[in-house]
A and B are shown apart, each in its own frame.
Chain A
Amino acid sequence: GDSVTQMEGPVTLSEEAFLTINCTYTATGYPSLFWYVQYPGEGLQLLLKATKADDKGSNKGFEATYRKETTSFHLEKGSVQVSDSAVYFCALSEETSGSRLTFGEGTQLTVNP
């Protein structure tokens, strides 16, 4: 079955540091890939997505590139801010699965001033 594996957290960075959160996936078809962010006590917000190989999703300074050859979708940001502190989830959906998302376990990011 489908699965998503994220780098283990928590991750603690200083403001303006470079961020990478690794995500790899296993899927039977050609999935779409997503990054969601969850702030404390809140629901999930879509951060970015990519629907086919080599697509790059980007939003709010975050980027991720769909790499079919390495089955990866790593999240990056060049300079993090304290307000980026949250839990980040990598997820996939198969072409035929509608809105069924398979999530990774999440990575807690804390950014210190």
Chain B
Amino acid sequence: ETGVTQSPTHLIKTRGQQVTLRCSSQSGHNTVSWYQQALGQGPQFIFQYYREEENGRGNFPPRFSGLQFPNYSSELNVNALELDDSALYLCASSLGGIGGNTIYFGEGSWLTVV
């Protein structure tokens, strides 16, 4: 049990639609990051939020966007869904913006785009 909760756990969307995934970070953690894990691959960093500001972004197009709220919970939004967006989306939280801190992952949201 990591204290990081994600919703929904599974969802199916149609190509072209939009999706919002939610994450509640571990209590006190002010840094949230999102990862995309395609089947059979390692997670790929999408972006990170530190104290409500985006603080680093991976190689993902602008249709992937996010928010972090004052209580440090977070959302990942994906517009104009494509078939290749089908993946497990993982949220992770940690304390502070410095590397080396332990990073805790949620169970993930499985997105299928048809």
A residues near B (Cβ < 8 Å) are: 4, 31-32, 34, 36, 42-46, 49, 51, 89, 91, 93-106
- Complex CA distance for A46 and B35, rounded to whole angstroms: 15
Determine how close the nearest CB of chain A comes to the CB of B25; give it in whole angstroms: 10
Given the known A-B contacts A43-B105, A44-B105, are A100 and B43 also in contact in the complex, defined by CB atoms under 8 Å? no
Interface pair B90/A43, CB less than 8 Å apart: yes
Contact B107 A98 (CB under 8 A): no
With A43-B105, A46-B104, A99-B48 given, is the CB distance from A94 to B90 under 8 Å?
Answer: no
A6 — nearest CB in chain B belongs to which residue?
B42
Q: List, in ascending order, chain A residues with CB within 8 A of B99's CB.
A: 31-32, 93-100
Known A99-B92, A103-B42; contact A93-B105, beta-carbon cutoff 8 A: no
> Is B94 an interface residue when CB atoms closer than 8 A count as contact?
yes
Instruction: Judge whether B100 and A101 touch: CB under 8 Å.
Output: no
The residues of B that contact A104 with a CB separation of less than 8 Å are: 42
Chain B interface residues toward A at CB < 8 A = 2, 31-33, 35, 40-45, 48, 50, 55-56, 58, 88, 90, 92-94, 96-108
- Contacts A32-B100, A44-B105 given; indicate if A101 touches B43 (C-beta within 8 A): yes
Chain A residues with Cβ below 8 Å from B35 are 101
Given A43-B88, A44-B92, A99-B101, output 20 extra A-B contacts at Cβ < 8 Å: A43-B107, A44-B90, A44-B105, A45-B2, A95-B99, A97-B99, A98-B56, A98-B96, A98-B97, A99-B33, A99-B93, A100-B33, A100-B48, A100-B99, A101-B43, A101-B45, A101-B92, A103-B42, A105-B41, A106-B40
CA distance A93 to B101 in the complex (A): 9
Tell me, in angstroms, the Cα distance from A91 to B33 when the chains sit together: 15
- State in angstroms the CA–CA spacing of A90 and B42 once bound together: 9
Contact B41 A98 (CB under 8 A): no
Shortest Cβ distance from A29 into B: residue: B99
Contact of A97 among B44, B56, B93 (CB under 8 A): B56
Residues of A within 8 A of B94 (CB): 98-99
A98 to B98, CA, bound (A): 4
Is the beta-carbon distance between B56 and A93 smaller than 8 angstroms? Answer: no
User: Taking the nearest CB of chain A, how far is it from the CB of B97, in angstroms?
Assistant: 4
